[in-house]
């Protein structure tokens, strides 16, 4: 299912035209800002960055006019999820805690994109601190799904995903801790890429769970994702978890399907999966077979445990990462406290929303003396079991596939009062996150007119091969 | 595991430095109990012979030279975002009541 016609050329062509002087960066920035303004009612965007964007565009246009060399993303507007530190705008993580926070430095990936001439025009909505699967946990507002405004766009990168489908910019950045790029991509119908753990620097991004947090891209095509990833991938001295980039790079990846061994994950196709979603995924598998791939069912028996592992490991890390928000060094501070302890508890009690508090308390519980072994250590050990099963499967298969989420986009409010039900929206995406595997959501069709994404998972450091597979999938499912 | 009590929730909130309203205490008592009941399914999983994983790509002891690098951020830039300060120092409330 291809996306509707876009006002933006493929990113490689768009920047080539800017470099050739056929298009002006200034016009592209105005086009993005105009579209954002015209589609305000979807609540995809928290803030625009018009001043800085226009200044940067003018200097890029001037450089081109003077015959200076400009980068390979020259003049390409983009949108960042509002948990990336970006100059020229607040970074709120959609939380009251960080409202008014102006970052003193920029995230590494923004620096890399700007060094190649890309221009950040806006910050997108998310679930506060990236905790959620719908943007309903945003402390500001809920983003509407462009396919049906009564439904959520998924989350937590729901604003970024919706912005791409609403054609506000050629690409958007998100973060994916347990599905936060892939699941919204599936819900709105765009491409959502989650790289191998460590492929992109997280320096300058509001941390959620450091053992699974990755930067991801929301784009219209796999080619656009590859073009952006090629700019931002690789080691960063400011993030010790980063890994080396693929020496072959990530662009010019040939579409590859014939002869590929593909495992359709049994545990992702059973009970709890909406029939309309399963039908779309089975048709995709049939299309791959017809194109010469060897598609067989594969079982990973521990996979259904991933959500329980995730909801121990991630809150534990969240409780640790969010401890820096203490009301003393930056952001929200409760003014009327009499003592330091009251300042901590009131700043945090009033600054954090319901989901952040919920996760901080779960994390505090599973890490506390007497429960650590039974919960946290046990979860990290089951995580090993899960990783071993993925490794076994990848001895037989090049890629694993299934749905991205058990359902299509749900209605706004439908899961809002039941946190556990909301967590189930991530049941398929958390497994690859816990194992650090690269994974992508590719639009595969619709069920009752709502987008359904195909989840493709690859071994660690196979990002290049995965992009080639995604490109082939895109061609077959278009 | 039995359901969390009101005192359990208050103890967690104290450890996590969070004030909670009366409604929040009851809400979290019920919600956290449900979530902890859900993750109980790991209790009986056989993990004989397996070690816990906390780092998935196998990196270990990532080192760098101990050099000063100028990233263009000054101490004053960092002090600019502090809620309360005095003479280039972060000012906090008194610690002993």
Domain with residue B19: its CATH number is 1.10.20
For chain B, what is the domain count?
1
Contact B19 A435 (CB under 8 A): no
Radius of gyration of chain A (CA): 21
Provide CB contacts within 8 A for A218, sequence distance 6+: A157, A160, A161, A163, A164, A171, A172, A173, A174, A181, A184, A185, A190, A191, A192
Position B72 scores a pLDDT of: 87
Element (H, E) at A275: helix A275-290
Position A44 scores a pLDDT of: 98
Cα–Cα distances (Å) from B38 to A301, A307, A308, A310, in that order, read 18, 9, 7, 11
- The gap between the terminal CA atoms of chain B, to the nearest Å, is 38
Evaluate whether residue B84 is within a structural domain.
Answer: no
Evaluate whether residue B30 is within a structural domain.
Answer: yes
Position A38 scores a pLDDT of: 98
Position B47 scores a pLDDT of: 97
Evaluate whether residue B57 is within a structural domain.
Answer: no
Give the length of chain A.
478
Position A345 scores a pLDDT of: 97
Give the 3-state secondary structure of residue B66: coil
Query: Which of A15, A95, A156, A157 is an active site residue?
Result: A156
Evaluate whether residue B91 is within a structural domain.
Answer: no
Residues of A within 8 A of B73 (CB-CB) are 104-105
Position B97 scores a pLDDT of: 62
Evaluate whether residue B88 is within a structural domain.
Answer: no
pLDDT, mean over chain B: 93
pLDDT band at B1 (very low <50, low <70, confident <90, very high): low
Q: Is A160 a catalytic residue?
A: no
Give the 3-state secondary structure of residue A53: helix
Evaluate whether residue B29 is within a structural domain.
Answer: yes
Contact B53 A326 (CB under 8 A): no
The number of C-alpha atoms within 13 Å of A361 and in the hemisphere containing its C-beta is 31
- What string of DSSP letters covers A331-381? S---TT-SSHHHHHHHHHHHHS-HHHHHHHHHHHHHHSTTTTIIIIIHHHH
Closest CB to B57: pick one of A198, A338, A354: A198
Which residue of chain A is at minimal alpha-carbon distance from B76?
A104
The number of C-alpha atoms within 13 Å of A359 and in the hemisphere containing its C-beta is 26
Evaluate whether residue B79 is within a structural domain.
Answer: no
Give me the interface pTM, i.e. the ipTM: 0.95
Position A5 scores a pLDDT of: 86
Contact A378 B43 (CB under 8 A): yes
Which residue of chain A is at minimal alpha-carbon distance from B46?
A382
Q: Is A81 a catalytic residue?
A: yes
Position A1 scores a pLDDT of: 39
Question: pLDDT by residue (tens digit) across B57-95?
Answer: 999 999 888 999 888 889 999 999 999 999 999 999 988
Identify the segments of chain A with pLDDT beneath 50. Answer: 1-2
Residues paired with A401 in a beta bridge: A264, A456
Global model pTM greater than 0.95: yes
Position A2 scores a pLDDT of: 45
Calculate helix-pair angle for A222-232, A11-19, nearest 10 degrees. Answer: 60
Domain that holds residue B26: 6-42
Q: Is A156 a catalytic residue?
A: yes
Query: Contact A189/A451 with Cβ under 8 angstroms?
Result: yes
Position B2 scores a pLDDT of: 60
Tokens found for residue A263 = 């495992």
Contact B17 A337 (CB under 8 A): no
Evaluate whether residue B62 is within a structural domain.
Answer: no
Position A4 scores a pLDDT of: 66
Closest CB to A360: pick one of B18, B51, B72: B18
Position A261 scores a pLDDT of: 98
Position B94 scores a pLDDT of: 87
| Residue corresponding to tokens 């993580």 | A93
Contact B93 A243 (CB under 8 A): no
**Average pLDDT over every residue of B33-46:** 95
| Strand A171-176 to A214-219 pairing | antiparallel
CA distance B33 to chain A (A): 10
């Amino acid at each position: 299912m291809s996306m509707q016609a876009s006002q933006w050329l493929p990113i490689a062509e768009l920047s080539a035209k800017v470099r050739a002087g056929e298009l002006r960066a200034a016009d592209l920035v105005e086009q993005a800002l105009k579209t954002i303004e015209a589609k305000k009612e979807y609540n995809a965007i928290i803030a625009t960055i018009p001043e800085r964007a226009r200044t940067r565009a003018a200097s890029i246009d001037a450089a081109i006019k003077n015959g200076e060399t400009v980068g390979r993303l020259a003049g390409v507007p983009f949108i960042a999820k509002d948990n990336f530190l970006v100059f020229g705008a607040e970074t709120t993580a959609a939380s009251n805690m960080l409202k008014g926070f102006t970052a003193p430095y920029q995230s590494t990936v923004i620096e890399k994109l700007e060094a190649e001439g890309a221009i950040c025009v806006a910050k997108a909505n998310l679930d506060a601190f990236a905790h959620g699967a719908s943007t309903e946990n945003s402390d500001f507002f809920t983003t509407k799904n462009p396919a049906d405004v009564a439904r959520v766009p998924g989350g937590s990168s729901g604003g970024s995903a919706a912005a791409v489908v609403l054609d506000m910019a050629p690409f958007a950045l998100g973060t994916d801790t347990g599905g936060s790029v892939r699941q919204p991509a599936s819900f709105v119908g765009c491409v959502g890429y989650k790289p191998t753990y460590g492929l992109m620097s997280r320096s300058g991004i509001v941390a959620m769970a450091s053992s699974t947090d990755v930067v991801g891209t929301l784009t219209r095509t796999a080619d656009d994702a590859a073009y952006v990833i090629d700019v931002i991938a690789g080691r960063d001295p400011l993030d010790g978890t980063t890994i080396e980039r693929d020496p072959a790079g990530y662009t010019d990846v040939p579409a590859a399907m014939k002869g590929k061994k593909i495992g359709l994950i049994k545990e992702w196709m059973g009970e709890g999966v909406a029939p309309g979603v399963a039908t779309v995924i089975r048709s995709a598998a049939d299309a791959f077979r017809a194109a010469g791939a060897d598609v067989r069912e594969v079982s990973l028996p521990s996979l259904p445990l991933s959500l329980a592992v995730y909801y121990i490991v991630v809150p534990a890390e969240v409780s640790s990462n969010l401890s820096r928000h203490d009301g003393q060094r930056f952001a929200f501070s409760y003014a009327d406290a009499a003592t330091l302890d009251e300042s901590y508890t009131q700043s945090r009690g009033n600054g954090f929303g319901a989901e952040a508090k919920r996760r901080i308390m779960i994390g505090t519980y599973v890490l506390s003396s007497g429960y650590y072994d039974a919960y946290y250590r046990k979860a990290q050990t089951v995580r090993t079991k899960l990783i071993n099963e993925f490794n076994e499967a990848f001895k037989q298969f090049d890629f694993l596939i299934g749905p991205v989420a058990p359902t299509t986009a749900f209605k706004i409010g439908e899961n809002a009062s039941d946190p556990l039900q909301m967590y189930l929206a991530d049941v398929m995406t958390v497994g690859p996150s816990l194992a650090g595997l690269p994974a992508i959501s590719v639009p595969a069709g619709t069920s009752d007119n709502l987008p359904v994404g195909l989840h493709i998972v690859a071994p660690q450091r196979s990002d290049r091969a995965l992009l080639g597979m995604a490109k082939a999938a895109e061609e077959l499912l278009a | 595991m039995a359901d969390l009590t009101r005192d359990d929730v208050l103890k967690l909130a104290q450890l996590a430095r969070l004030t909670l309203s009366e409604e929040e205490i009851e809400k979290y008592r019920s919600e956290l109990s449900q979530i902890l009941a859900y993750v109980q399914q790991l209790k009986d999983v056989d993990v004989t012979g397996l070690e816990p994983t906390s780092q998935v790509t196998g990196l270990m002891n990532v080192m760098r030279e101990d050099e000063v690098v100028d990233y263009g951020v000054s101490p004053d830039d960092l002090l600019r975002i502090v809620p309360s300060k005095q003479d280039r120092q972060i000012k906090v409330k008194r610690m002993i009541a």
